[in-house]
């Protein structure tokens, strides 16, 4: 509870995204036999579903595989801004990749917006598609104001439509802002439910609750194996559209990506929202957009980003967003709260294309840096073109095998040093809670039989104990109080209180320990 917030409202006890709560999705069987297909796509979020739709439309026999339920990864928990304004990016891209590539990034994302608009057609209301101006703004820090000034210069250099603003339509003092007109917001799951239906009508097949093994046979026809049951999928092309690639192919993606968690609440405001989509460039990050569903006008307030597994009290992040929303517009109710994880590459540019130069029939799309609505759509267009043998003018710049010494090397070293530190720190951490003092609904790292263990007391008072060693590569998981999950700081695997895998790359659950022993 946050008593300093004048319009304090109770946060929902359990996280649930507005998008998932307002969309009824079909269910699909687990794969229980050996099958063949032209293309196998692993991961049913915006990238996987859009790629599947495009390839099925082009006449390919496509199978879509999902480890859990469709649209239950990052796509189900986004703020769903459909924009080419991806925070502070164009100055950085121009400096590191040159003017031509920076312009291509903008144009590719603009094309993705047009793609989504075409799919929606005249059904804007059904898909919640709404034309909005997008703003990035700086509030206090001189450093971020200077970055914003560099960014508007990059807009001018690249010919990107943008206007400098000294104030916002919101009642909030700022130092400066950049408005990018003509952007969109939508309901991502209504849109992707539609694309899923189109894919099925084109003869596509979908299997849920089917986890793929990290091993694959890649000589001749590609053979993928399911983890449970060992069923084989034989195909000519495979696409990894999951968070971390399910198959690494020596691309070393675990060392080239890091994971950030961010939070969102849906607020019923007490004052009228003026429209627009907003993102602060200073810290803590704040993001705003409206959404109106089931007759209610809501505002989605997001932000509070931090590296996964490195926050002491995750519930505090929701309370910080609530305080911000309460002060800005009042909050008469907060019907939904949710959080998500996003992957970020070494150079901030997504990896899209063949997984390595040696495996040109296995593709990857990852590292969207929180902007998956447009870059996921762009990735689907690039990869489907590559599979269909068509030239795509954006393919080169996103090639996962690119190597840029600046700034990758430095970031590579820093990030991997951090991962290595987590790996070791978790093992020697001596600050453990007392298992007997756990309250209902509480989880903590404890000491059990002299070993580090994860404990959670459920609503019935039952104690669940797990080994906190992540089953992916052995880092130590930490308790996430806001989501009631065990989160791994190294590559973002998440586990339920009883060890069941919620999000990969881990495939195996955390080992359960006997609470009686």
Q: CB 244 → ligand FES: shortest distance, Å?
A: 8
Residue pair 64/262 in contact by the 8 Å Cβ criterion: no
Complex with ligand FES: residue 102 or 488, whichever CB lies closer: 488
Which residues have a Cβ under 8 Å from the Cβ of 272 and sit 6 or more positions away? none
Residue 95 and residue 151 in contact, taking contact as beta carbons nearer than 8 Å: no
What radius of gyration do the chain's Cα atoms show? 23
Q: Report the residue number, 382 or 506, with the smaller CB distance to ligand FES.
A: 506
Angle, helix 188-201 to helix 99-120, in steps of 10 degrees: 70
Q: Residue 188 has which token pair?
A: 């991502």
Smallest distance from ligand FES to CB 489, Å: 8
Q: Which two tokens stand for residue 264?
A: 């969102």
Closest Cα partner for 256 from 89, 408, 417? 408
C-alpha–C-alpha distance, residues 509 and 227, integer Å? 12
Phi and psi at residue 386, to the nearest 5°: -65, -40
CB of 151 or CB of 422, closer to ligand FES? 422
Nearer to ligand FES among residue 9 and residue 341 (C-beta): 341
- Can you read off the two tokens belonging to residue 469? 């060693």
Nearer to ligand FES, 376 or 505 (CB): 505
- Contact (CB, 8 A) for 265 and 11: yes
Burial-class residue 464 by CB neighbours within 10 Å (0-12, 13-18, 19+): middle
Q: In the bound complex, what is the minimum distance in angstroms from residue 505's beta carbon to ligand FES? A: 6
We find the least distance from the C-beta atom of residue 470 to ligand FES, in angstroms, to be 3
Nearest residue (CB) to ligand FES, 212 versus 470 = 470
CB of 353 to ligand FES, least distance (A): 23
Q: Is 405 exposed, middle or buried (0-12, 13-18, 19+ CB in 10 A)?
A: exposed
CB of residue 493 to ligand FES, shortest distance in Å: 4
Q: Is 124 or 508 the residue whose CB approaches ligand FES more closely?
A: 508
- CA–CA dist 422, 153 (Å, integer): 39
Peptide bond into 515 cis (omega under 30): no
Give residues in contact with ligand FES (CB under 6 A).
470, 472-475, 488, 490-493, 505-506
CA angle 409, 414, 420 (to 5 degrees): 120
Residue 238 or 490 having the CB closest to ligand FES: 490
**491 Cβ contact list (under 8 Å, min separation 6):** 244, 254, 257, 259, 419, 472, 473, 475, 505
Shortest reach from residue 473's CB to ligand FES, in Å: 4
Nearer to ligand FES, 276 or 505 (CB): 505
Distance of closest approach, residue 19 Cβ to ligand FES, in angstroms: 25
Q: How far is the CB of 308 from ligand FES (least distance, A)?
A: 9
Query: What backbone phi and psi angles, to 5 degrees, belong to 100?
Result: -65, -45
CB nearer to ligand FES: pick between 164 and 254:
254
Cβ-contact 226, 31 below 8 angstroms: yes
Min dist CB 89 to ligand FES, Å, is: 27
């Amino acid at each position: 509870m946050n008593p300093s917030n004048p319009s304090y409202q109770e946060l929902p006890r359990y996280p649930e995204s507005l998008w998932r709560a307002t969309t009824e999705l079909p269910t699909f069987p687990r794969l229980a036999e050996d099958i063949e297909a032209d293309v196998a796509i692993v991961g049913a979020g915006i990238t996987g579903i859009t790629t599947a739709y495009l390839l099925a439309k082009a006449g390919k026999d496509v199978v879509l595989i999902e480890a859990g339920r469709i649209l239950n990864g990052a796509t189900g928990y986004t703020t769903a801004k459909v924009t080419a304004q991806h925070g502070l990016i164009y100055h950085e891209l121009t400096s590191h990749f040159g003017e031509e590539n920076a312009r291509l990034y903008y144009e590719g994302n603009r094309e993705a917006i047009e793609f989504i608009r075409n799919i929606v057609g005249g059904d804007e209301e059904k898909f919640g598609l709404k034309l909005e101006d997008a703003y990035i703004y700086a509030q206090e820090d001189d450093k971020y104001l200077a970055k914003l000034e560099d960014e508007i210069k990059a807009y001018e250099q690249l010919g990107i439509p943008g206007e400098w603003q000294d104030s916002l339509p919101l009642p909030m003092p700022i130092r400066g802002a950049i408005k990018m007109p003509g952007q969109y917001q939508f309901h991502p799951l209504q849109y992707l439910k539609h694309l899923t239906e189109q894919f099925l009508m084109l003869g596509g097949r979908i299997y849920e609750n089917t986890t793929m093994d990290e091993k694959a046979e890649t000589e001749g026809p590609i053979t993928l194996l399911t983890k449970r049951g060992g069923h084989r999928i034989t195909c000519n092309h495979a696409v990894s559209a999951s968070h971390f690639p399910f198959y690494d192919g020596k691309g070393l993606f675990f060392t080239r990506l890091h994971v950030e968690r961010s939070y969102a609440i849906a607020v019923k405001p007490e004052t009228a929202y003026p429209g627009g989509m907003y993102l602060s460039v200073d810290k803590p990050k704040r993001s705003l957009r409206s959404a109106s569903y089931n007759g209610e006008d809501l505002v989605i307030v997001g932000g509070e980003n931090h590296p996964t597994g490195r926050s002491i009290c995750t519930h505090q992040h929701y309370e910080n967003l609530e305080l911000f929303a309460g002060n800005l517009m009042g909050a008469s109710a907060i019907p939904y709260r949710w959080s998500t994880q996003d992957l970020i590459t070494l150079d901030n540019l997504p990896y899209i294309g063949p997984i390595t130069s040696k495996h040109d029939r296995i593709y990857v799309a990852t590292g969207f840096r929180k902007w998956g609505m447009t870059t996921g759509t762009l990735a689907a267009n690039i990869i489907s073109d590559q599979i269909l043998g068509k030239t795509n003018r954006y393919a080169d710049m996103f090639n996962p095998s690119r190597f840029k010494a600046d700034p990758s090397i430095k970031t590579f070293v820093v990030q991997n040093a951090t991962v290595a530190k987590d790996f070791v720190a978790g093992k020697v951490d001596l600050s453990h809670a007392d298992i007997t003092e756990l309250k209902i609904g509480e989880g903590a790292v404890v000491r059990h039989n002299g070993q580090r263990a994860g404990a959670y007391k459920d609503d019935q008072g039952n104690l669940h104990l797990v080994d906190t060693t992540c089953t992916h590569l052995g880092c130590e998981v930490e308790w996430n109080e806001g989501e009631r999950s065990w989160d791994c700081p190294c590559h973002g695997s998440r586990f339920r209180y009883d060890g069941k895998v919620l999000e990969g790359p881990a495939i195996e659950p955390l080992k359960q320990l006997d609470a009686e022993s």
